[in-house]
Structure 1
Amino acid sequence: MATSLLRAGFDVTGFDVNAAASERFQAQGGRVGATPAAAAAGADCVVAVVVNADQTEAVLFGPDGCAEAMPEGSVFVSSATMAPERARALAARLEATGRHYLDAPMSGGAARAADGALTMLASGTPSAFSRARPALDAMTGTLYELGDSAGLGAAFKMVNQLLAGVHIAAACEAMAFAARQGLDLARVYEVITKSAGNSWMFENRIPHVLAGDYTPHSSIEIFTKDLGIVLDMARADKFPVPVAGAALQMYLMTAAAGMGKDDDASVARLYAQIAGLTLPTKS
């Protein structure tokens, strides 16, 4: 995302706890700050891409956090997936300091991020959108403006995550079921991607299973977190989500089996372990 901003002509300073990521960004022409505060100093727009609400709060208000370093009137774009009430609380806290907060979780993964083609599900005040729009245009292919208060973007994202988590778990179950039937898994993938049972997640994740490559493009632990948020929200609203609950248990079992930091397609490996199946291995 930072590279997309560079490509669009922005002056970008980044911060990352991963030194290798910082070095790559510098090699592409970006600057790197030693802390979130250093990276945000003087910036019109600060974009935070972390895992959850706690990390977002730390980036903003923790030691060396960026909130006080941001100029008054600047905007903080929060792209972490979190519960709507956490987004509302963070927005209220930041806006009380004279800065703007845009609740802008995203979808699309690393490939679309690199192309500046993410989908963002954003909500916030008109002023927040106005301040952030030039940067958003550089990072997104599709920008949804979902309301004038923080929390709405987060709620839309949780609907997406419910579907995404269920679809991945179902895709892995289907491929393990196919393996039990003795079918050629590559042929199953070919047939299903041209049939009504296909989904974006099936088409995107099952190649990881076919290659036996579980390098974490999106890890199991992302969905133990996100489906956990879905179930927390549903419980608070006394709303049943049994399919999401079943999918969450599959991710929790996969994490408990030692694959929490592996690719989320590792649910297929859990099925293989349970059923004594042999899946493709990385060559």
Structure 2
Amino acid sequence: MGVALQQSATVIGLGSMGWGAAVSLLRAGFRVSGVDIRPDVLARFEGEGGQAFARAKDVPPSDVVFVFVVNSDQAKQVLFGEDGAVATAKPGTVFLLCVTMAPSVTVEIAERLLAAHMQVIDAPVSGGHLKALSGEITVMGSGPSAAFDAAHAALDAVSAKVFRLGEEIGLGSKVKMINQLLAGVHIAAAAEALTLAAKAGLDLQTVFDVIRVSAGSSWMFENRGPHIVEGDYTPRSAVNIFVKDLGIVTDEAKREGGETPLSAAALALFKEASAAGFGLEDDAAVAKILAQKSGLVLPGME
């Protein structure tokens, strides 16, 4: 029996990234408990071979707990709320905070976990839902070496690369913030480029095929461009996620005295898309706002 087969893991939040992490852990031989508020998701997870729970406090003790909820308020609730995980966790459990949060809030949550005699890794992730499904996400981790050692097998199960950025909690969240700055700006830039291409009378598929192998490309252009070309705004990552994440970028920049004009412009676009009713659509739906202002009808807008 391998190490993974002897360990148990809990994943709180079975969204696109949490689901991928949970099934990757199952595939690696972990006993996995999944926590989510959606009955259909819990039923599907049981079908995959996991144990499903609507409340974190009902989960049997686990060696590691991944937290994959949407924001810091939800993280505090699932950890410390009435139905939270901490009250019933065994001392020494490793909590991996995979939520994109302001670094200052990550530190606050970590301090509460440490006071409850838990171990903590600041562990935001990147890679998208397909990488999560294949167990190949990137982890931007910081925290004590002992916590990393205890969570080693679990991290191997869900990730292709784990960056150990230091022992200071908050470093992981700071690096993730920089990643989200670039991701949000690149999505907005991809939407602007393809919208302008359409306005200029160019064929969107042709433009995408050319740019994706040219100097102007980016990972986000290659990933989100097809959503705009095909008019498929099924949410893989929603507009509202970048309202949150770019809000973290601009707020933390103000706190640090940094200048982020491109982030501010992209944030304004995501906020406008959210206010127009596109908040739960794929984040590439920011293209719809630019199309409307340009007098265009893109695919998927008919």
Partner SS for 2:29: coil
Superimposed CA distance per residue, residues 91-113 of structure 1 (whole angstroms, 9 cap, x where no aligned partner): 11111111111110000111111
Corresponding residue to 2:115 among 62, 81, 96 = 96
Task: Report percent identity of matched pairs.
Answer: 48
**Which amino acid is 1:240 matched to?**
E
Mapped to 2, the partners of 1:280 and 1:126 lie a distance apart of 50
1:213-224 aligned within 5 A = 213-224=232-243
Change in CA separation of 1:71 and 1:169 when aligned onto 2, cut-off 3 Å = same
**Which amino acid is 1:132 matched to?**
A
Mapped to 2, the partners of 1:233 and 1:173 lie a distance apart of 26
Answer yes or no: is 1:231 the counterpart of 2:250: yes
Corresponding residue to 1:23 among 40, 43, 47 = 43
Residue of structure 1 equivalent to 2:34: 14
Partner SS for 2:161: strand
Partner SS for 2:257: coil
Answer yes or no: is 1:126 the counterpart of 2:120: no
TM-score, with normalisation over the residues of structure 1? 0.97
1:281 Cα offset (Å): 2.7
Corresponding residue to 1:209 among 214, 219, 228 = 228
Answer yes or no: is 1:2 the counterpart of 2:22: yes
Q: Is the 8 A contact 1:219 1:264 kept in 2?
A: yes
Superimposed CA distance per residue, residues 175-226 of structure 1 (whole angstroms, 9 cap, x where no aligned partner): 0110111001100000001110000000000101111111111111001100
Mapped to 2, the partners of 1:168 and 1:111 lie a distance apart of 18
1:130 Cα offset (Å): 1.4
What is the count of residue pairs matched by the alignment?
A: 282
Residue of structure 1 equivalent to 2:8: none
TM-score, with normalisation over the residues of structure 2? 0.91
1:158-197 aligned within 5 A = 158-197=177-216
Partner SS for 1:51: coil
Q: Is the 8 A contact 1:213 1:282 kept in 2?
A: no
Q: Is the 8 A contact 2:42 2:53 kept in 1?
A: no
Mapped to 2, the partners of 1:206 and 1:18 lie a distance apart of 30
1:282 Cα offset (Å): 8.0
Mapped to 1, the partners of 2:104 and 2:149 lie a distance apart of 23
Q: Is the 8 A contact 1:211 1:282 kept in 2?
A: no
Mapped to 1, the partners of 2:87 and 2:44 lie a distance apart of 27
Partner SS for 2:148: helix
Partner SS for 2:120: strand
Mapped to 2, the partners of 1:90 and 1:236 lie a distance apart of 19
Kindly report structure 1 stretches of 4+ aligned residues shifted beyond 2 Å: none
**Which amino acid is 1:32 matched to?**
A
